[in-house]
Structure 1
């Protein structure tokens, strides 16, 4: 995650984006993880509700 953050900072400074596939995938995965953690923290049932899309997932 630190490597991605460093790359994003360099990109912002130089104002050019060389969108390599691994960079794009890493950014999407990082954003997704933040959203999942935030949603689980706000859920009163600890992230697993009765109507969950994938109830067998424990990640």
Structure 2
């Protein structure tokens, strides 16, 4: 299913944690909240890996 290396949303600049207990993870780039990791939600809906990934500055 997801043969390439998975995107680590925790390292993405657009990832955030929400206060919504039903959808605790979100993506600022695409503007959605989800139970899954946002990169997996993007993959399931489009069939492609997330192209919005931008690594956080350390």
| Structure in which a larger fraction of residues adopt helix | 1
TM-score range, shorter chain: under 0.3
Instruction: Return the TM-score normalized by structure 1.
Output: 0.25
TM-score in terms of structure 2 length: 0.25
Bigger strand fraction: 2
Larger Rg: 1
Q: Which has the higher contact order (CA 8 A, sep 6+)?
A: 2
